[in-house]
Structure 1
Amino acid sequence: MKHLKSLGFFLLIFSSFFLIQCTTDPIPGPDGEDGIDGIDGVDGVSGTAECAACHNVGKSEEVHASYLFSGHYNENMDHDLENDGINEPLSQYGNRAYTPNGSLSCASCHTSDGYIDIVETGSTLFSGFQNNDDGGYPLYDGTQTITCNTCHNKHTSFNFEEDGKDYALRVIDPVTLLADNSVTIDYGPDNKTSHTCATCHQPRSTFDGAINADGTVDVGSRFGPHYGAQTTLLEGIQGAELAGYEYRSTDGTAAHRAGSSCTECHMGKSSGNNVGLHTKKPTETTCLNCHKDGSPSKEFLKADFDALEDLLIAKGIIEIVIDEDTGDEELVIISNKNMDLIPAAALWNYKMIYYDHSHGVHNPKYAKDLIQNSIDALNAN
C-alpha cells in the first residue's frame, strides 16, 4: 500500500513537469500572411503657423514703414534748447533724472533704457537731477530713442485664444497712476494692450497736490500735468473741477473711453504708411466705425480755449514772451506761490487741454466743461 502511494506521488510530479514544458516551450508554426497597411494619418498643424501670422517679413516691413511716421520715432519736442534753429528730440531729456515723487524720472519715458527699467523694477537706475557727465543713461545718440524693444519683449502667454494676444508687450496689466496711486487705469482684458500707452501718457502731478494748507495754490513755471494728460482726460478725471459747476463724461463714461481704447483708435488699419498702424495716428476709416457721418471737427473747442487764454493773459496769470533770438512768441506762466484757487484752477485746466494735444477730442464733453467753467469762474471772480 505504501508502495502504491509513492508511485502515485511520483507520477503526479512527473506529469507536472511535462505540462510546464508544453506551455512554456511551444513548437512554432509557419509564418502568417502580412497584414494590410493602415491609412496614413492627417498631417498636424505646423507648430510655427500661428507665430508666422505676425512674425513674417511682410508684417515686419509694414510695422517699420508706418513707425517712421510716428511721434515716437521723430521725437520732436518743438523746443530749440540750444537757440540754433533746431528743435531737440524727446531723448534730449534722457540724461536727466528729475524725480518729483521718488520713482518717476524724465528718463523713464524719454529713453528706452529708462522705460525698461521703470516697468521692470519700478524705478530708474539713478535719482536726483544729473547730467550724463555725472552718470546715468547715455546722452541722445540715436540709441535711446523709442524702438521696438522699448515696448516689446516676450509673450507672457502663447494661449492667444483664451488669454488674448499680448503682442509681447512689456506692460499689459492695469496701470496705477504715478501722480495718484489711488487711481488705476484698467481698459479691460480686450483692450489690455492700451495699458502700455498709459504707462507714459499720464500726468506727473495733480492739481490737488499743489493746493496749500490755506487754500491757495503753489504755481510754478512748470505748473500743470506735463505732456501726459491723455490718459486722465480720456478717463474724465484730474481736471481742476470747481465747486458749483457740472462736469460730464467723468470716471470712464466718455464714448471714446467706454467704447474704444488707445490702440483701437490710434492703431487702426490703413492702406498707407502715414496713418494708422504704428504711426499712432487715427485714420478716417477708424473714426467712421462709430462716426457714420464723418470724423468730427477738432475745432469744436478752439473758440473757448482761445477765450480762456485771453482771460489768463488779461488777468496776469500768463504772459507772452518774445524770444530775442528767434522772434517767436511763447506763453509763460507767471509764478505765484500763493495764487487764489479759481485762477489757479483755470490755469490748470488750460494747461491740461494744451498738454493733451488732442484739442479735447479724447473726451469732448469733459474738456468743454473744464474750459467753459473756467471762463465763467474767472469772469465771476
Structure 2
Amino acid sequence: MKHILTVLIALMFLFLVACEGPAGPQGPQGPAGVNAGFVYFEGFKDSLRCGTCHTPDNDTAKFLLARRLEYESAGHQEGTAWARGINSTTCASCHITEGYIEMAKGNYASQATKAYNNGTPPGCFTCHSPHAKGDFSLRKTDAINVKSFVAGAADLQFNVGASNTCVTCHRTRETSPMSPIPDPTKTAATDSIVITSNRFYPHYGVQGQILMGKGGFEFAGYTYPSSFHKTLAEGKNIQCADCHMAKPTVVVEGKPAAGGHTLKIGYLASSTATSRTMYVAGCRASGCHTDITSNTMTEANFLNYRSAQKDVEKGLDSLRTLLVNKGWLNPSTNLANASTSAPLVIKPAYKAGALFNFFFLEHEGSHGIHNTKYAKALLDASIAELNKP
C-alpha cells in the first residue's frame, strides 16, 4: 500500500509539471540597484563610491587639502629623497611610492628588487590606501623585522602600532648589506677585520633600533640602559606621530612649517631667521615633560634640555677625533678611510665596533633624543675602548 501511494504522488507531480502553461509577458523593469552605474576599478574596495570622499563636505571634515599642503613642507617630499630611489633596485621600496606599495603587498621580502624609471615621490598614497581600504587608515602597520649588522646580535622585532609604518623604512637596509660586519668576540690581538668600503654602516635610517635600545655595537663589560622613551614605545603608549606630527600645525608666512604632515619639529620662524625654532607641543602633550611650559623653544635651549643632546654631541665629537687620529675616519668625507684599493685593516677586530657606533649614531640624526641613555652608553664604551692601549 505504501508503495502504491508513493507512485501516485510521483504521477501527480509529473502531471502538474506537464500542464504548466507558456511564460507570461515580461514585467516592468524594477528600480535600479543601489550600486547601478558605478564602475569599480581593480583593487578598489567593493561598493566604494567616489562621491563618498570626493565632496566638499568630506574634504572639509578630513582636511585633505590642508594635509597635502602640510606635506609639501616635509623632508619626504623633497626631490633629493625621491631621486635616491629612481632607477634603484635597492632603494625604491622607501624612496618611490610604487616600490613601497609592492613591498607592503608582500611582493618583495623587504626592500624592492625592481627599478622604477619614472617612479612617484613618496606622498599621501604611500602611507595610505583609501581606494583599497575605503578609509585613511595606514597601509602597513604589521610588525617589522629590523636586521642586525653586529655579529651575534639578534634582529629587532619592532611592533609599536602605527609607528610600524615609520620603521618600515627607518631601519637598516637588508639589500646590499654591509660586509664585513663587526664581531664583539674578535678580541685577540691577531684578530683582524678588513674593510674595503668607505660605507661601514647598514643604513642612515636606524631610528627604530635606537628608540628600542638595539642595533649598536655593545662592547663587553659595559651596561647599556635605555631612556623612558623605550618603555613608552614598548607599551605602545607613545608613537612617532606624537612628536613629529604634533598639533596644531605651525604656519610661517602662509606656509606650514612644523607639526602635522610636515613631520617636522625644527623650523625657521621667519624668512630672515638664522636658527631654528623647535616645536615641542608633542613633548608637552605626552604628559612626560611637565617642565616644558611652551610649545616652542629655541634650538639652543632644545639642545641643552636636560643636557641630553649636548652630551651626545660632545661624545660624538670626542669619538670622531679618536677615529680620525687612528686613521680610520676620513676627516674630509666623514666616511671610513677604506676602499678596495686601500683597505682599512683594524686589529684587534672588535675595536671596529667604535667606528660602527660612530656612523650608527651620527646617521640616526636625532642627536640621541630618541634614546639618550642608550646613545650615550654606546659612545662612552666606544671612547673607553679606543683609549685602551
TM-score range, shorter chain: 0.5 to 0.7
Residues 70, 280 of structure 1: 8 Å contact kept: yes
Q: Give unpaired runs (5+ residues) of structure 1.
A: 1-46, 77-88, 98-104, 128-135, 159-165, 322-329
**Could you report, residue by residue, the CA deviation over 1:37-77 in whole angstroms, capped at 9, with x for unpaired residues?**
xxxxxxxxxx999999994236112211211111101244x
Q: With CA pairs under 8 Å and 6+ residues apart, which has the higher RCO, 1 or 2?
A: 2
Alpha-carbon separation, structure 1, partners of 2:73 and 2:222? 41
In the TM superposition, residue 185 of structure 1 has moved relative to its aligned partner by: 0.6
What displacement does 1:243 show?
A: 0.3
When residues 70 and 177 of structure 1 are mapped into structure 2, their CA distance, relative to the original with a 3 A threshold, is same
Q: Alpha-carbon deviation of 1:262?
A: 1.1
| From 152, 156, 173, the counterpart of 2:128 | 152
**SS of aligned partner of 2:334:** strand
How far apart, CA to CA, are the structure 2 residues paired with 1:155 and 1:125? 23
Deviation (angstroms), 1:121? 2.8
- The 1:107/1:178 distance shift into structure 2, 3 A limit, reads farther
Change (3 A) 1:376 1:318: same
Kept in 2: contact 1:207–1:224 (CA 8 A): yes
1:13-55 deviations in Å (ceiling 9; x for gaps)? xxxxxxxxxxxxxxxxxxxxxxxxxxxxxxxxxx999999994
How far is the alpha carbon of 1:343 from its aligned partner? 3.1
Alignment partner, residue 100 of structure 2: 115
- Is the 8 Å Cα contact of residues 234 and 254 (structure 1) preserved in structure 2? no
Within 5 A, what are the aligned runs for 1:29-108?
55-57=58-60, 59-76=63-80, 89-97=81-89, 105-108=90-93
State the TM-score, normalizing by the size of structure 1: 0.66
- From the superposition, tell whether residues 52 and 304 of structure 1 become closer, same or farther in structure 2 (CA, over 3 Å): farther
2:166 maps to 1:197: yes
Distance in 2 separating the partners of 1:241 and 1:251: 20
SS of 1:301's equivalent in the other structure is helix
Q: Distance in 1 between matches of 2:107 and 2:366?
A: 29
Cα deviation per residue 1:334-368 (whole Å; 9 max; x = unaligned)? 12464233431111111011111101111000001
Distance 1:346 1:172 in 2: 34
Q: Tell me the amino acid that sits aligned with residue 310 of structure 1.
A: T
Kept in 1: contact 2:354–2:382 (CA 8 A): yes
Work out the percentage of aligned pairs sharing the same amino acid.
Answer: 29
Contact in 1 for aligned 2:91/2:112 (Cα 8 Å): no
Separation in 2, partners of 1:170, 1:234: 22
Q: 2:318 aligns with which of 290, 304, 307?
A: 307
Q: Counterparts of 1:154 and 1:244 in 2: how far apart (Å)?
A: 51
- State the match for 2:221 in structure 1: 244
Code of the aligned partner of 1:284: V
1:138 shift after superposition = 1.2
Q: 1:275: Cα distance to partner? A: 1.0
Aligned pairs for 1:171-320 within 5 A: 171-178=140-147, 182-187=155-160, 192-204=161-173, 210-211=181-182, 216-219=192-195, 220-249=197-226, 253-254=230-231, 258=235, 259-272=237-250, 273-282=256-265, 283-289=279-285, 290-294=288-292, 296=305, 298-320=309-331
- TM-score, normalising length from structure 2? 0.64
Distance in 1 (alpha carbons) for counterparts of 2:353 and 2:157: 24
Distance 2:263 2:314 in 1: 27
Structure 2 residue 361 is matched with structure 1 residue 350: no
- 1:218 Cα deviation (Å)? 4.6
CA contact (8 A) 1:240 1:346 kept: yes
Q: Which amino acid aligns with 1:171?
A: K
Letter in 2 for 1:379: N
Count the aligned residue pairs. 286
Report the more deviating stretch, 310-319 or 217-226.
217-226
Residue range with higher mean Cα deviation, 144-153 or 238-247: 144-153
Larger radius of gyration: 1
- Choose which of 341, 352, 374 in structure 2 pairs with 1:366: 374
State the secondary structure of the residue aligned to 2:331: strand
The structure-2 alpha-carbon separation of the partners of 1:237 and 1:178, relative to structure 1 and needing over 3 Å to count, comes to: closer
Residues 201 and 230 in structure 1, CA contact (< 8 A), matched pair in contact too: yes
Q: CA contact under 8 A between 1:237 and 1:251: conserved in structure 2? A: no
- Tell me what 2:11 maps to: none
Q: In the alignment, residue 225 of structure 2 is paired with which amino acid?
A: R
Relative to structure 1, the CA distance from residue 257 to residue 54 in structure 2 (aligned partners, 3 Å threshold; closer, same or farther) is farther
Contact 2:243 2:280 in 1 (8 A): no
Residue 138 of structure 2 is matched in structure 1 by 169
CA pair 168-55 structure 1, distance change in 2 beyond 3 A: farther
